[in-house]
Amino acid sequence: MPSSPAGGLIDAEWVGFANGRLMNEDVNISLHTMALARGARIGAIMYYVKAYYAFEILGSKEFWATYESYNGWHRWGLGTAQPSYPWPDVHHELGGARVYYVTKKYWGSTVTDYLRQMVGADLVFDVPDELVKANDELHIPQEAAV
Ligand SMILES: CC(C)(COP(=O)(O)OP(=O)(O)OC[C@H]1O[C@@H](n2cnc3c(N)ncnc32)[C@H](O)[C@@H]1OP(=O)(O)O)[C@@H](O)C(=O)NCCC(=O)NCCS
């Protein structure tokens, strides 16, 4: 099934990453989300982009995540009050841990608003040419900001 990595750039500097994949035509698996620059909610933007792609572009019915860090769990698992499936009967392919899920209905009623508020803006797809040009050549950060 297709995998969907996304990279976030600011003036061509690589600042964020998110990836996931389709498990089947209904379930979208969230894999990793990472911010490479701190304090700008870049990870929140990447998560929004990943979930938006799952629900709005691919038409997935559920989005399955597991949490690799307290920050991730606090931001999204707890932050959007995601329900979970019984463990270990259902476990996530990323390390076999608990699956937290968002349904399409919950995405529409609650999660989009939470993410929009956290990001402070909405996604824009009609991007001016100069913005595309400014991000034409990828620069890899020289230092890790962890
Ligand atoms: C979880 C993660 C993606 C969130 O990214 P993010 O939305 O860009 O958020 P940041 O990590 O920059 O900041 C998180 C919090 O730390 C604090 N913080 C960190 N650096 C800061 C800085 N330079 N200035 C101000 N606040 C800062 C803030 O309190 C911030 O919370 P707030 O935005 O709600 O105020 C990111 O922390 C990350 O990449 N972690 C490592 C990988 C990981 O755990 N991924 C999630 C797996 S489930």
Residue 16 burial by Cβ neighbours in a 10 Å radius (0-12, 13-18, 19+): buried
Distance 63 CA to ligand 1 centre (A): 22
Q: For the chain, give the longest Cα–Cα distance.
A: 50
Q: Does 66 score more than 80 pLDDT? A: yes
List pLDDT tens digits, range 73-126: 999 999 999 999 999 999 999 999 999 999 999 999 999 999 999 999 999 999
Asked if the structure places residue 143 within a domain, the reply is: no
Q: Give the mutation target among 38, 46, 73, 119 for probing the ligand 1 site: most ligand atoms within 8 A of CB.
A: 38
Distance 1 CA to ligand 1 centre (A): 30
Q: Does 2 score more than 70 pLDDT? A: no
Q: Does 1 score more than 60 pLDDT? A: no
Helices and strands (DSSP H and E) totals, the chain: 5, 5
Asked if the structure places residue 102 within a domain, the reply is: yes
Asked if the structure places residue 126 within a domain, the reply is: yes
Tokens linked to 37 = 């620059």
Residue 76 domain boundaries: 6-131
| Total domain count, the chain | 1
Tokens linked to 132 = 């595309």
Asked if the structure places residue 145 within a domain, the reply is: no
Residue keyed to tokens 């969907």: 4
User: Mean pLDDT across the stretch 61-74?
Assistant: 96
Asked if the structure places residue 106 within a domain, the reply is: yes
Angstrom distance (rounded) from CA 41 to CA 115: 10
What was the pLDDT predicted at 54?
A: 97
Residue 92, phi then psi, degrees to nearest 5: -80, 145
Asked if the structure places residue 136 within a domain, the reply is: no
Residue 143 pLDDT class (50, 70, 90 cuts): confident
What was the pLDDT predicted at 145?
A: 74
Half-sphere exposure of 103 (CA within 13 A, CB side): 6
Q: Does 144 score more than 80 pLDDT? A: no
Closest CA to 80 of 31, 120, 47, 40: 47
